[in-house]
């Protein structure tokens, strides 16, 4: 029931956002504004975010709501995979939100450089996943995640504002993960793609 209410609140927020952008009638706009407020209050109650935080997250969202795009890169060294340590102390595949004016692959390459200090080239697209279907923790935004395998060209980890360290791990010896960004199943999927020359891109 809680998950259904969360989904309904997201849908209400999306409809209210579109209505506020495209609507013309002053009374309709007032109704859309109220629907938006109700949806944000529900989202706040169903997440760890305060109402003010939820409102701020949606403040810049205008018009028809579309998914955000996140890229994650799998870099391998024999039977190990590269992970970066977040400021929280948890680990994830290097990656992040896509910047405008850059393609998904350009964003993936940029994120590996920024977070792990490595220069890479993209080997293959592993998957395009809807985060809502593959992560237990619900996100208040709809997110599509692109996964790539990469080949290292050079570079090394340097101190930066995003990550504390980078290190290669065996699949059987993974550290505690930042599961809102990377899950064990996603890492297993990347290993499968790396080891399979006939890999078929997963779209789900």
Tens digits of per-residue pLDDT, 8-49? Answer: 777 777 787 777 777 888 888 888 888 878 887 877 777 767
27: which 2 tokens?
């009374």
What is the pLDDT confidence band of residue 104, given thresholds at 50, 70 and 90?
A: very high
Give residue-wise pLDDT tens across range 155-180.
Answer: 999 989 999 999 999 999 999 999 98
Model pLDDT, residue 7: 73
Angle at 49 between CA 116 and CA 84, to 5 degrees: 10
pLDDT at 201 over 80: yes
Please report, rounded to a whole number, the percentage of residues in the chain having pLDDT higher than 90: 56
Burial of 152 (0-12, 13-18, 19+ CB in 10 A): middle
The pTM of the full predicted model, rounded to 2 decimals, is 0.75
Report how far apart, in Å, the C-alpha atoms of 63 and of each of 17, 51, 70 are: 6, 21, 21
* DSSP 8-class letter at 177: B
Q: Judge: domain 68-203, CATH 3.90.79.10.
A: yes
137: which 2 tokens?
């923790």
Q: How far apart are CA 195 and CA 149, in angstroms?
A: 11
Q: How far apart are CA 151 and CA 171, in angstroms?
A: 18
What is the pLDDT confidence band of residue 80, given thresholds at 50, 70 and 90?
A: very high
1: which 2 tokens?
């029931």
What phi and psi, each to the nearest 5 degrees, are found at residue 97?
-65, 145
User: Per-domain residue ranges for the chain?
Assistant: 2-59, 68-203
pLDDT at 136 over 70: no
Tell me whether strands 68-77 and 143-155 are parallel, antiparallel or unpaired.
parallel
Distance of CA 9 to the CA centre of its chain: 20
């Amino acid at each position: 029931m809680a998950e259904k209410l969360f989904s309904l609140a997201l849908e209400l927020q999306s409809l209210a956002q579109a209505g506020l952008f495209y609507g013309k009638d002053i009374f309709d706009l007032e109704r859309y504004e109220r629907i938006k407020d109700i949806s944000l209050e529900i989202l706040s109650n169903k997440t760890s975010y305060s109402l003010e935080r939820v409102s701020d997250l949606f403040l810049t969202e205008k018009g028809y709501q579309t998914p955000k795009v996140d890229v994650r890169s799998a870099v391998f060294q024999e039977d190990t995979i590269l992970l970066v340590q977040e400021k929280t102390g948890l680990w994830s595949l290097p990656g992040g939100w896509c910047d405008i004016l850059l393609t998904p692959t350009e964003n993936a390459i940029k994120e590996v450089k920024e977070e792990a200090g490595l220069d890479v080239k993209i080997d293959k697209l592993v998957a395009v996943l809807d985060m809502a279907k593959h992560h237990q923790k619900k996100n208040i935004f709809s997110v599509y995640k692109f996964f790539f395998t990469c080949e290292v060209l050079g570079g090394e980890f340097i101190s930066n504002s995003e990550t504390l360290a980078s290190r290669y791990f065996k699949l059987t010896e993974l550290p505690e993960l930042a599961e809102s960004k990377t899950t064990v199943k996603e890492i297993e999927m990347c290993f499968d793609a790396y080891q399979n020359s006939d890999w078929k891109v997963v779209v789900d």
